[in-house]
Structure formats: C-alpha cells, structure tokens
Amino acid sequence: MTGLEIQEYYHTTTFGSRVADGVYETLLDGMESEELRVNEGVHVWHYLILDDHFTWRECGRSHLCRVMDMLHMGFVDEVLFGRETVERPPKLVKAWMQTCRSRSL
C-alpha cells in the first residue's frame, strides 16, 4: 500500500500561520505514518520539501528547528532544501520503483 499527499505553501511574504500550520500538519502526518508502520507493518515514505530561503532562514528559524526535530524523531524520512528540491526527486522515484518491483516478485 502506498499513498501520496502534496501540500503546497508558497508565495508567502512573511512567515505566517499558513506555513506554521504546514509544519504542524507534517508532524501529525508523521505520527500517523509511525502508527501505521507499528500497527500494520506498512511504511509510507514521508518527505518535506522546503524551497523558500527568505521564509525559512529569515522568518521561520524556530519552525525550522521543529522540522529538524521531526526528521531526527523519524516522523519525516527526508527534508529537501534548495537545489535538492529539483535534483533529489528523480533519485527518490527510482528507489520507490525498485522497492515496488521487489515487492511484486
């Protein structure tokens, strides 16, 4: 079983409640994914992509620390920043495909 959810928070001029809500929703999604993994044995890949320098470096450092905490607690598999938001996804998709192919054998 796999799932995909995309939440977009973009074109913000300040670090408002919309982005803070996104951080909180990411935490909740990570906790739900952990519960699914523990209780049902299903792993859902959970990635967070952050691509706005001003929002995260200038306005949202305290929330950025929460993102790093989620990563270290295992609620997010990977956090992508800057160029990684373009370069990393093709490699992730290849890994997903390999995993899905190995499951179908």
Euclidean distance between CA atoms 96 and 21, whole angstroms: 28
Task: Please say if the pLDDT value at position 91 is more than 90.
Answer: yes
Judge whether residue 3 has pLDDT over 60. no
Q: Say what the pTM is.
A: 0.76
Residue 64 is predicted with a pLDDT of 85
- Tens of pLDDT, residue by residue over 62-80, are 788 888 999 999 999 999 9
User: Would 55 be classed as within a structural domain?
Assistant: yes
Is 50 contained in some domain? yes
Which tens digit of pLDDT belongs to each residue from 8-50?
Answer: 655 555 556 677 778 888 999 999 999 999 999 988 889 988 8
Domain that holds residue 24: 17-104
Q: Which of 46, 43, 37, 50 is nearest to 75 (CA)?
A: 46
Decide if 10 is inside a domain.
no
DSSP string for 1-61: ------------SS--HHHHHHHHHHHHHHHHHHHHHHHH------EEEE--HIIIIII-H
Closest CA to 22 of 1, 50, 59: 50
Confirm whether 95 is domain-assigned: yes
- Identify which has the larger pLDDT, 6 or 24: 24
Q: Hey, which residues does 81 pair with through a beta bridge?
A: 50
